[in-house]
Structure 1
Amino acid sequence: MRNTFYADRPYIENEYELAEWDESSGIPPAEINRKVREFAASAADMHPALIVANCYRIMLEEAQISLNGRTPFPDKIRHGAVYKRDASASVLEMYFRERYDKALYRYCPQAWAHRKFLALSGISIPDVDVWHTVLDWERTLRLGPRGMLDALYASMHRMEKEGKLDEERKIFFDAEIMAFEALITYIKRLRAAAEKMGLDEYAEALEHILTAPPATLYQVLCLSHIMLNVVEIGRERCRSLGAVDELYLPYYISDLEKGILTAESAKEMFRYFWQKIAAEKRYADQPICLGKTWKDDSSPAAELILIMLEAYEELNIHNPKIHVRCAKNMSDVLLTKVADMIRKGNSSIVLVNDETVLKGYEKIGIPRETADKYIPIGCYESVIPGLEDARICAAWINLAKPCEYAISGGRDMLGGLYVGQHTNEPQSWEEFLECYFSYLHEHCQMVMDNINEQAPFAYLANPSPYYSGSIESCVERGRDVFDCGMEYRNQSVKCFAIATTVDSLLAVKKYVFEEKAVTLGELREILKNDWQGAEALRTRIMNDKTKYGNNIEEADSLAVMIFDFCAKEIIGKPTSTGGVFRMGCDSVNMAEDYGRHTAASADGRGARAPLSKNMRPVNGMEKSVTSFISSVCKIDNSIFVNGAPLDFAIHPSAVEGEAGLAALKNLIRVFLLNGGFAIQGNVLDLNTLLDAREHPEKYPTLQVRVCGWNEYFVNMSKTVQDDFIKRITGLEK
């Protein structure tokens, strides 16, 4: 293993934007695109699974490749993605998106039309979410490509012998075998190119992987990178590399015993591996999970985890992003390391509470011993690899919209149409709150019904050969992941904008029904006119101290009531594919997207402005992180098996020195001990953010935690920068 990372790094950081493609190795993206579309047009009567497999075959067998000799992970395939802030719009991704939309419109036109109506109203965008996936990495590494292909043949022959190989099963196996044979052809192409370039170490690793499972840590990382990229050539995104400490530990120990690696050479290898992932610019960053195997501070597992973290910290990157599983007896050594990284600005980290997750799985009927195999994927959503298809982003439900409709009687204030029921004007606070929950119930039912109408067609819309081929139950049953191939076939719905909602409801309670400063009809007109002419009332409401997220019982009890209601509406309800619904409450960028379709709200928010994010208070309304934690922990976080992040923001002076580090660790422990689901955050000061906006050249690596991922502050849009500045300004008042 080489030891020249810092000399090589400049040639890796931007290797995708500056790639020199070997034109003799294959055909360019435009030609791939033409061949894919011509094939699909000529095979219109072919089953979608076979069309998709052929598309992968064309890409993997014929696309241009390039190897970067300055890294031990040199592989690249020219799939047509554009590399800017993040990579997007590869040839197959764009084509598969078109197929997906057309298929759902064809198979469930009413649900598809209603979906668009719900989206325009700002209520929700129900989906079947074929985008967020995770391979069964344990099985993938245990079998290798050849072993997975052999397992497909064995299962097909077994089913044929048993008389169970019907036409649908035969199509599944034919598509899977074609896809995995194309994968092996692709690896052979990479090996031949490596031999031609004299990259002997890489060529030897691929030679081994072609015939056997990986046997060394280097081979594991080579195969992991190839599989990650092959899975993501199409529509899917592999939203975790798995519990990497658990996956990599046996190979690390074996390599140490055989003298293949030392601790330092392993760290050098991870420098290269993390930098390779950073260079690929995946949207929302590439997740990895750490901490699962840490039982003893002096164990090889602890050593490996620290090696991976130290290599990552050195690079000052935010991609990959790190999910840390936190056990009840979480090691102080691990917590110290993670907290120290966060306070120094390496904040692309979220800590997830094992106990809360396991309680959440019990709520949907999955026992602890099974659920303990979970990893966070995506931003912080829990999934059990190899067993659970969770569809972690099937829908977001805008909690603020029922408040708008309770005020308007059901007419959308921006669109002017009725989405569902019509209601009379409530005459008391109790009637108003009952009206709010009536609309929330209706919206939950609309969304879940729409998901259930779409879900049975996910396989026809987006067959997933590599994801399915990694899952033992799919191979044994001869069914794609999206054709009910997995053991647990769940759907996940996120209810967000809790702060906007609570603050709006309390404003109605106080200023309409208690103080009678305005009638409900007058408030309706004020909101329709976006607060024009009512600036004094707006200021009064926004300056009111009773806000969610500040450990104020009236506000927090209402948040608890809303989430408990959502839990009863959603959690455990049956899906159309034989699973159950799960719930989360993160917003990601939907706070902006849904906000654009939401009228002015009673808390003083303007029309089309962003809604509140995740579990955070409204920007400018947060008084302290300790009060924020108290508010969040009053809610039963175990209802959020699909994710519930607390985003803290702390001034650097609060975490300086040993005392400051101890304070940050204590804050995290208090949150975890009180049942919080996940915690992440930023250590920032206002002056730094303002200076970075004016002089971006001085702060090229200033990271901020956006939602479930980080970005460099200077690369963010002015709107998003302003969001952070507004929050920090409120905290520093």
Structure 2
Amino acid sequence: MAKLTDRILKLKEQSKNAEVWIDPERAQIVTRFYSKNAGKYSIPVLRARSFKNLMEKKELYLGDDELIVGERGRAPKLIPTFPEIASHSVEDLKVLDAQDPIPYHVSPKTMDIYEKEVIPYWEGSALRDKMFNQLSDEWQTIYNCGLITETMEQRAPGSMALDERMFGMGLKKAKQEIEEAIENLDFLTDFQATDKREQLTAMAITCDGMMIYAKRYADMLENKAARETDPARKKELEKMADVCRRVPENKPRDLWEVLQMSWFMHVGVITESNGWDACNAGHIDRHFYPYYQKSLEAGLLDQESAKELLSAWWIKYNNHPAPAKYGVSALESGTYNDFVNISLGGITKDGKDAVNDLSYIFLEILDEIEFIQPQVHVLLSRMNPEHFLKEACKVIRKGRGFPAMFNAEALIEQQLRVGKTISDARGGGICGCVETTCYGKEAAPLIGYINIAKILELALQNGYDTRVDKQVGPKSGDAKDFKSYEALMEAFKKQAQYVIDTKLRGSQYLIQMFAKYVPQPFLSVLIEGCVESGKDYNDGGPKYNVSILPGVGIGTVTDSLSAIKKHVFDENNYSMGEVIDALNADWQNNEHMRLTFANKTPRYGNDNDYADSIMKEVSDFFIDTVDGIKDSRGGTYRMNMLPTTCHMYFGEVTGATCDGRRAGKPLSEGISPVQGADLSGPTASLKSAAKMDHSRTCGTLLNMKFLPDVLKGDTGISKLASLIRTYFTYGGHHIQFNVCDADTLLLAQQTPDDYNDLIVRVAGYSDYFNVIGENLQNEIIQRYAHEI
């Protein structure tokens, strides 16, 4: 396949070099609309009318040489805010402007708009203000001391992905189905019919809003074409105008139309609200393939022009950094990456190999464009050809951390276990980082993270947090008096139960608040089940619903418990009192004990059943405790093991731990072993991780690091492919790789300007090494580099 064209190289450089600025346009338009119309309509209709008003008024952007149009802000990397959800204060904006290393620049004019117009209207009435005032003291306490975080603090529920359904109908047909649903409402026996009418009416209004937005682009492109003197560009602009006149109102007919329609839907979702994990495009290779074939067969495109068009679509994602976060949310996810995650490979809905020509082309584009967005993962099935796996491994070998690899059969098993049909399960995949979801049919938002390591700290301190000098959890017994390892585990589980219960009570309330005050009617149009049920995406409308609670620090906890079990209760080398005193002193004057615990303890990640059985007991407890609890949307809660960058924040608020870690240092991430503790080779590490019951989770994250020389040549690729297949044979959910050496990363710290393009795998995403902050850089360097 041909290399990137000059046009794509130009668009790539423009996107890469664009700076990130706060764009006040959305906040200003929404504020003015609400100030005139709040109270005139039901909340869903108000939200929909505000969306339509925004799509009618927002400035249109057309860059030179663009083939796909549409931006969330007024230009690439101009990022709007969502004051109806969380209103940034002047101080927030100043912090964002000065933030290092990922600033969100704020111009004096923008600051003036927020200070005089946006903030006065929303201060005290934004959803965040309403919610936090009502959360219990117990919830506030575990939040403030770092036992939990809350993703719905300042962003809407997300983790959604689209399927091919809308491509088969278009918004005009979708609106007709909505209107039919309104006509069929039963106001005599259905006591929710009035609420359903408002939700459905709102969905119809947003369809109009998006169709208007597309036609505005069609008009703009036609006017531009009429003035264009270059014949080739004139023809392109005329085609683009025709495309925008056609979609998303109608179903697409060719590759250009399906790509533009996909992008319009993405822009609509991320403009309507600031949902976590943006909006995932789903199985792009299988969704776009019929249109790709048709365009080639009809002579509308050749392979080179098709790849150029696909690349232009791809680059648009990089124009959209994550909406600005502040406070704890920024600490748990400190990145511009908005976690758009798209799938390649896997199994079709009728059970066949899903790999096709586009699967390979997208691997090429991923390799050549080298952006951190969109993220790409491979759903690897036993049915997928070995050649496809090895081509993916060749991209992995480049050391940029992508594509991540997921076990297609394991994902299907996870979904079947909770009642999805086999067809829907095969159509599912990954959202965000590693979360399993059913594409186009499910709401699967993360609800915040839980600090497993700090829960053990509470168990060792009788529920007391020495950092904040406060009784946080229940009194579970003075650990100095524990006579057995079982007594410690009982105290640990008592503290964990309290934290989980308190966290979920808060989550139930927060979910209801988003359903009531911030419905997402346009997103609801795109997700199956919402029109049929007459309910919003945030209110249980999708066909399937799940709320995901990620646990952080399983490796740290496992090794800490292993150390106590071995050195205190099995071998009687130390008393519990000595251990707790050493932890309270952050190991000062206890270096011999610290090194003994760190170096002479069975540790998770080495296929050692002594440690791994502890990991299994802890993970089973959290899964058993959370799994199947009903959430307030009519779905259930499920556990996964995902850190994003929360292992850094949680480490900062967690004292010294019995694995030898000092206070404030990072926790282990995902289900990866503690950094540097997996000394028995990669296969042993995989076998340890596979002892967790991945089928009962909603996703797990395993990071591995290899030295570049290990993966050289065809032999290196074959070894990596076999390693991945082996882990998935064991039942593993996910694996991702950093391929680099510590010397290179240390040089990048010392001379960052020489390594501006260095990309590493952080957690469930890749990022530029130079923008992730020194502490996270050091944590990545500490991850052990394996040889195969």
Asked if Structure 1 and Structure 2 have the same fold, meaning a TM-score greater than 0.5 normalized by the shorter chain, the answer is: yes
Residue 631 of structure 1 corresponds to which residue in structure 2?
Answer: 688
State the 1:7 CA deviation.
4.1
Give the superposition deviation at 1:90. Answer: 6.1
Q: Which stretch shifts more, 275-284 or 479-488? A: 275-284
- 3-state SS in 2 of match to 1:707: coil
Asked if 1:173 corresponds to 2:196, the answer is no
The answer for the alignment partner of 1:275 in structure 2 is 315
Do the aligned residues in 2 keep the contact of 1:59 with 1:79 (CA within 8 Å)?
no
Contact kept? 1:120, 1:597, Cα under 8 Å: no
1:147-168 deviation line (CA, Å, top 9, x unaligned)? 2222222222232798868431
**Amino-acid identity (%):** 25
Say if 2:34 is the partner of 1:40. Answer: yes
TM-aligned CA distance change 1:458 to 1:80, over 3 Å: farther
Is the counterpart of residue 148 in structure 1 residue 174 in structure 2?
Answer: yes
1:407 and 1:429 mapped to 2: Cα distance? 12
Residues 96 and 462, structure 1, Cα contact 8 Å, conserved in 2? no
Report the CA distance shift for 1:709/1:468 in structure 2 as closer, same or farther (over 3 A).
same
Question: Match for residue 10 of structure 1?
Answer: 10
What's the TM-score once normalised by structure 2's chain length?
0.85
Give runs of aligned pairs for residues 215-230 of structure 1, distance below 5 A: 215-230=253-268
SS of the residue aligned with 1:490? strand
- The alpha-carbon distance between structure 1 residues 595 and 229, as it changes in their structure 2 partners (threshold 3 A), is same
1:585 is displaced (CA, Å) by: 0.7
Q: SS at 2:664's partner residue?
A: coil
Find the aligned partners of 1:162 and 1:215 in 2 and give their Cα distance.
43
Structure 1 CA distance for aligned equivalents of residues 19 and 624 of structure 2? 52
Q: CA deviation at 1:17?
A: 6.9
- 1:390 is the counterpart of 2:444: yes
Deviation per residue, 1:121-146 (Å, 9 max, x gap): 22223555733242543222222222
Q: Please, which of 504, 523, 528 is the counterpart of residue 584 of structure 2? A: 528
Letter in 1 for 2:389: L
| Counterpart amino acid of residue 414 in structure 2 | G
Taking the aligned partners of 1:34 and 1:353, their CA distance within structure 2 comes to: 45
> 1:584: Cα distance to partner?
0.7
Cα distance change of structure 1 residues 17 and 148 upon mapping to structure 2, 3 Å threshold: farther
Distance apart, 1:329 and its partner CA: 2.7
Provide, for residues 426-451 of structure 1, a one-character-per-residue CA deviation record: whole Å limited to 9, x for no partner: 22222112222222233222223332
Match of 1:157 among 179, 183, 186: 183
Distance 1:363 1:344, change over 3 A: same
**Do 2:12 and 2:369's aligned partners in 1 also have CA atoms closer than 8 Å?**
no
The counterpart of 1:249, out of the listed 268, 281, 289, is 289
The letter for the 2-side match of 1:290 is L
Corresponding residue of 1:78? 73
2:502 equivalent to 1:464:
no
CA distance in 2, matches of 1:99, 1:331: 56
- For residue 217 of structure 2, the aligned residue among 157, 181, 190 is 190
Distance 1:315 1:93, change over 3 A: farther
1:90-129 equivalent positions in 2, closer than 5 A: 95=87, 102-103=126-127, 106=130, 109-111=133-135, 113-126=137-150
State the distance in 2 between where 1:107 and 1:93 align.
10
- The match for 2:549 is 493
Within the alignment, does 1:416 sit opposite 2:473 as a pair?
no
Rounded Cα–Cα distance in structure 1 between residues aligned with 2:396 and 2:20 = 37
Query: Is this contact kept in 2: 1:503–1:547, CA < 8 A?
Result: yes
Is 2:228 aligned against 1:204? no
Q: Aligned in 2, Cα 1:550/1:470: closer, same or farther, shift over 3 Å?
A: same
SS in 2 for 1:76: coil
Alignment of 1:637-676 (within 5 A): 637-640=694-697, 642-676=698-732
CA RMSD, Structure 1 to Structure 2 (Å): 3.1
Contact 1:364 1:571 in 2 (8 A): no
SS in 2 for 1:530: coil
Secondary structure of 1:680's partner?
strand
The answer to whether the aligner puts 1:138 opposite 2:138 as a matched pair is no
Runs of at least 5 residues in structure 2 that lack an aligned partner in the other structure: 90-121, 226-236, 323-336
- Are the aligned partners of 2:354 and 2:384 in contact in 1 as well (CA < 8 Å)? no
Number of the residue aligned with 2:602: 546
Contact 1:156/1:173 (8 A) holds in 2? yes
TM-aligned CA deviation for residue 319 of structure 1: 1.8
CA shift at 1:561, angstroms?
1.1
Question: What is the Cα deviation at residue 694 of structure 1?
Answer: 2.3
Q: Which secondary structure does the structure 2 equivalent of 1:67 belong to?
A: coil
Q: Which residue of 1 aligns with 2:49?
A: 54
User: Could you state the TM-score of these two structures normalised by the residue count of structure 1?
Assistant: 0.91
Do residues 235 (structure 1) and 266 (structure 2) align?
no
- SS of the aligned residue for 2:464 comes to coil
Q: Distance in 2 between matches of 1:110 and 1:276?
A: 40
Match of 2:302 in 1: 262
Cα–Cα, structure 1 residues 349 and 8, in superposed 2: closer, same or farther, change >3 Å? closer
- Cα deviation per residue 1:326-345 (whole Å; 9 max; x = unaligned)? 21233101101101110123
What's the CA shift for 1:454?
3.0
- Counterpart residue number, 1:66: 61
User: Which secondary structure does the structure 2 equivalent of 1:394 belong to?
Assistant: coil
Q: C-alpha displacement at 1:611, in angstroms?
A: 1.1
* 1:434 equivalent in structure 2: 490
Counterparts of 2:82 and 2:16 in 1: how far apart (Å)?
13
Counterpart amino acid of residue 521 in structure 2: P
Q: Give the drift of 1:374.
A: 0.9
* Aligned residue identity for 1:350: A
> Do the aligned residues in 1 keep the contact of 2:442 with 2:527 (CA within 8 Å)?
no
Query: How far off its partner does 1:710 sit?
Result: 0.7
Give the aligned residue type for 2:304. E
> Match for residue 363 of structure 1?
417
Matches of 1:105 and 1:295, distance apart in 2: 44
Q: For 1:186-243, what per-residue CA distance to the aligned partner results, in whole angstroms no more than 9, with x for missing partners?
A: 1111111111211112101111226421111111111111211121112225341011
Matches of 1:565 and 1:413 in 2, distance apart?
26
The CA deviation at 1:633 is 1.2
8 Å contact from structure 1 (residues 133, 467) kept in 2 = no
- State the distance in 2 between where 1:94 and 1:616 align: 34
Tell me which moved more, 50-59 or 99-108.
99-108
Change (3 A) 1:301 1:494: closer
- 2:574, 2:3 → 1: CA distance? 71
| C-alpha distance in structure 2 between counterparts of 1:648 and 1:100, whole Å | 45
Relative distance call for 1:295 and 1:484 in structure 2 (3 A) is: closer
Paired residues of 1:342 and 1:349 also in contact (CA < 8 A): yes
> C-alpha separation between the residues in 2 aligned to 1:465 and 1:496?
33
Deviation at 1:634, TM superposition (A): 1.8
Deviation of 1:88 after TM superposition, in Å, equals 6.5
Map 1:397-412; keep pairs closer than 5 Å.
Answer: 397-412=450-465
Question: In the aligned structure 2, how far is the partner of 1:200 from the partner of 1:287?
Answer: 32
Partner of residue 401, structure 2: 347
Q: Could you tell me whether the CA contact under 8 Å between 1:474 and 1:486 is conserved in 2?
A: yes
In structure 2, what residue type is equivalent to 1:247? H
Q: Is the 8 A contact 2:694 2:731 kept in 1?
A: yes
Greater shift in the superposed pair: 43-52 or 310-319: 43-52
Cα distance in 2 between the residues matched to 1:539 and 1:301: 50
Whole-Å Cα distance in 1 between the matches of residues 26 and 708 of structure 2?
A: 51
Paired residue secondary structure (2:704): strand
Deviation at residue 76 of structure 1 after TM alignment: 3.0
Mean alpha-carbon deviation: is it higher for 615-624 or for 277-286? Answer: 277-286
SS in structure 2 of the partner of residue 400 of structure 1: helix
User: Which deviates the most, 111-120 or 607-616?
Assistant: 111-120
Give the 3-state SS of the residue equivalent to 1:427 in structure 2.
coil
> Could you tell me how far apart the structure 2 residues matched to 1:112 and 1:189 are?
47
1:196–1:102 CA distance, 2 compared to 1 (3 A):
closer
SS at match of 2:731: coil
Over residues 369-399 of structure 1, what are the superposed CA-to-partner deviations in whole Å (9 max), with x where a residue is unaligned?
A: 43222121111211112332222x1132222
1:25 maps to what in 2? none
> Which residue in the other structure is 1:213 paired with?
251
SS at match of 1:495: strand
* Cα distance in 2 between the residues matched to 1:545 and 1:427: 20
